Amino acid sequence: MTHRPVVGKACACLVDDRGRLLVFHHPGDRGMQLPKGTIEPGEAPEDAVRRELREESGIDYTGELVPLGTIDRDCEAGVEGNKHRHPQRWHLFLMRAQGALPETFDHVAVGSPEEEGLVFSFSWLAADAPLDGFTAPYVRVILRVREALAG
């Protein structure tokens, strides 16, 4: 049995002044997601989350990051462009939108060979909206964000 290193991920939980969470439809995975990606070697999770949000949504976030802890996920092979099953640790950060953002918008992803050129369709998820279309790890993240906003 080979031991695979844990892959660090940074997940951006950007909320607007109405407590809605920025989410997007991923055309490759055919599901709803939050902006997230791999933390590069030597990169702090705090820097990675800002970079991932910028690459996936075009939003250059300079505001405060509120850490929401981590979740661990065993990622199956063939999911989200991964060739091998491996453990992941997602670092979650609550971010509060600075200024108004469009209700919906599209962004062409950059920065990742698997996602380069894909069009991500963004929208806002209301605090009481059902979580259909999100896989289990994203549901865990969204529930943690909702807890943090309610508390």
Work out how many domains the chain is built from and give that number: 1
pLDDT of residue 75: 78
Half-sphere exposure of 136 (CA within 13 A, CB side): 7
Structural domain boundaries, residue 24: 7-150
Structural domain contains residue 86: yes
Q: How far apart are CA 134 and CA 60, in angstroms?
A: 25
pLDDT of residue 2: 58
Would you place residue 123 in the very low, low, confident or very high pLDDT band (cuts 50, 70, 90)?
A: very high
pLDDT of residue 78: 65
Structural domain contains residue 26: yes
Q: How far apart are CA 50 and CA 42, in angstroms?
A: 15
Structural domain contains residue 138: yes
Structural domain contains residue 35: yes
Tens of pLDDT along 57-97? 999 999 999 999 999 998 777 665 567 788 999 999 999 99
Structural domain contains residue 47: yes
Sign (positive/negative) of CA torsion 140, 143, 149, 151?
negative
Containing H/E element for 141? helix 136-150
Tens of pLDDT along 19-59? 999 999 998 888 899 999 999 999 999 999 999 999 999 99
Structural domain contains residue 1: no
Structural domain contains residue 33: yes
Tens of pLDDT along 6-15? 999 999 999 9
Structure tokens given for 63: 């505001």
pLDDT of residue 81: 59
pLDDT of residue 119: 95
Structure tokens given for 146: 């909702």
pLDDT of residue 61: 97
Tell me, what CATH number does 51's domain have? 3.90.79.10
Structural domain contains residue 135: yes
